[in-house]
Amino acid sequence: MNSNQPYETLDPQDWEKMRTLAHQMIDDSIDYLADVAERPVWQPVPEAVAATFKTPVPDQPADPAEVYDEFLTNIFPYSMGTIHPRFWAWYMGNGTIMGALADLMASVMNPNMGGGNHAASLVEIQVLNWMKQVTGFPEEASGLLVSGGSMANLVGLTIARNTLAGVDVRRQGIQSMAKKLTVYASTEVHSSNQKAVELLGLGSDCLRKIPVNADYTINLQALRDSIDQDLRSGFQPICIIATSGTVNTGAIDDLPAIADLCDEYGIWFHVDGAIGAIAMLSDTVREQLTGIERAHSIALDLHKWMHVPFEAGCVLVRDEKAHHDSFALTPEYLLKAERGLASGPAWFSEYGIQLSRSFRALKVWMTLKEHGTQRLGRMISRNVDQAQYLGQLIENSANLELIAPIGLDIVCYRFNPGDKSEEALNDLNREILLELQEQGIAAPSSTILSDRYCIRVAIANHRSRYEDFDVLVETAIRIGHSILA
């Protein structure tokens, strides 16, 4: 070894230079968020910039300042737009600066949240306990922070399958089951639930998609009829998935009635609350979610209406033993101890499929500490009111029409001049949406309801102001007439 050369690690060779760069990055981040409303919501990545991502893997070090400069030039200006006040596409929260800083601190600490005795585990336990309090779940229930609603649904449905299959699925597999298992949800159920059913080996044919009512909630009589027909045909119903906030329209299924059905038939009650469950924080929405506290499992997305930066999902499970039994596996290299690093109150690897897990609990913890449940609830309530405000603007316009009842904070509408075929209206509104996005004015998304293409505005945005919806309506009408002309 050459004693004249510094010992090589991945740490900075000049800590003060790195400190200066880090300060610049923080300053740029705060400016980026503070000025977000002055920029386009979204802009496409130019071809010349996209070409820079086709270079070979670097084999030599580069100056960190140069790396950061490349980020500022080629990445920072071309974000998805989720942080903008007029971002209403799909269903995503805005994030917060404190949440972003929490991510930084979590990465600096760099713990693995699979298990072990360290403070980060206590943070996740506390966050899970807070989520139980919010949803009315019992103190002895269990839970897990996951990447998002998709994984939360997979965890909940896995426990439902393993608990009610009638065989030891973990040891014998699904091929040992005497009967085919069936799961029930409305036709509006999120696609992640179908993926979960498929991954669990049940097959999408065994996910019974039940028709919905005019308000897009599940039809309870059709649900009961489907369960009864399956029982007569020799199937084994194991789970009803209720949705608290459908992705298309924000509809909330009748949770108490579905809980009663699950009690009557002895099957698992899972609530996909990725969109709406956290609205238990809102004084104006909470009553619509009555019955969620009766679920066997709940999926929540904290990176949606609670504005924790991606990724931050949560699953709560009433039966801690059923949860643990579905995932626990302790090889000799993960043996726990009474003392030392391998002790600790909870090993989260025994409650999900991941052993390696990031410290996502910190940004949830800091978000709740900084803002408190009442402020977060007020943001939710305001979005619900803004959805009604937008709906009134649409109804007052001679050129716009609502396509579905407004559920929670989701508004589906279209431009309709009154003399076009359905096919022509679909094409026209598709172009209006693209123009809104490409001009950087607003970023709604789209969906299709009863074969009608519509512009979908999902208002999970703590930065949106009422005047933003005036801009949306005025611009959509202007673009519509411009296309016709």
The pLDDT assigned to 408 comes to 95
Distance CA 362, CA 127 (A): 9
The pLDDT assigned to 6 comes to 82
- Whether residue 340 is contained in a domain is answered as yes
- Give the residue numbers spanning the domain of 211: 111-358
- Whether residue 137 is contained in a domain is answered as yes
- Whether residue 106 is contained in a domain is answered as no
Single pTM value for the model: 0.96
- Whether residue 147 is contained in a domain is answered as yes
Smallest CA-to-CA distance from 49 within 67, 72, 32, 31 is with 72
Distance CA 428, CA 404 (A): 19
- Whether residue 289 is contained in a domain is answered as yes
- Whether residue 122 is contained in a domain is answered as yes
Q: Which long-range contacts (CB under 8 A, 24 or more apart) does 335-342 make?
A: 336/115, 340/117, 341/116, 341/117, 341/118, 342/115, 342/116, 342/117
The pLDDT assigned to 252 comes to 98
Q: Into how many domains does the chain fold?
A: 1
Distance CA 382, CA 434 (A): 27
Token code pair at residue 483: 């296309």
Distance CA 419, CA 130 (A): 54
Per the document, the length of the chain is 485
The pLDDT assigned to 2 comes to 62
Token code pair at residue 238: 């194991």
Contact in structure between 150 and 388 (CB atoms under 8 Å): no
The pLDDT assigned to 30 comes to 97
Smallest CA-to-CA distance from 230 within 296, 183, 175 is with 183
- Whether residue 203 is contained in a domain is answered as yes
Smallest CA-to-CA distance from 247 within 447, 425, 1 is with 447
- Whether residue 174 is contained in a domain is answered as yes
The pLDDT assigned to 437 comes to 98
Token code pair at residue 472: 């949306």
CATH code of residue 252:
3.40.640.10
Neighbours of 318 (CB within 10 A): 22
The pLDDT assigned to 1 comes to 57
pLDDT in tens, the chain (485 residues): 566 788 999 999 999 999 999 999 999 999 999 999 999 999 999 999 999 999 999 999 999 999 999 999 999 999 999 999 999 999 999 999 999 999 999 999 999 999 999 999 999 999 999 999 999 999 999 999 999 999 999 999 999 999 999 999 999 999 999 899 999 999 999 999 999 999 999 999 999 999 999 999 999 999 999 999 999 999 999 999 999 999 999 999 999 999 999 999 999 999 999 999 999 999 999 999 999 999 999 999 999 999 999 999 999 999 999 999 999 999 999 999 999 999 988 899 999 999 999 999 999 999 999 999 999 999 999 999 999 999 999 999 999 999 999 999 999 999 999 999 999 999 999 999 999 999 999 999 999 999 999 999 999 999 999 999 999 999 999 999 999 99
12 phi/psi in degrees, rounded to 5: -60, 145
Contact in structure between 389 and 382 (CB atoms under 8 Å): no
Rg over CA atoms, the chain: 25
Question: How far, rounded to the nearest angstrom, does the alpha carbon of residue 281 sit from its chain's CA centroid?
Answer: 17
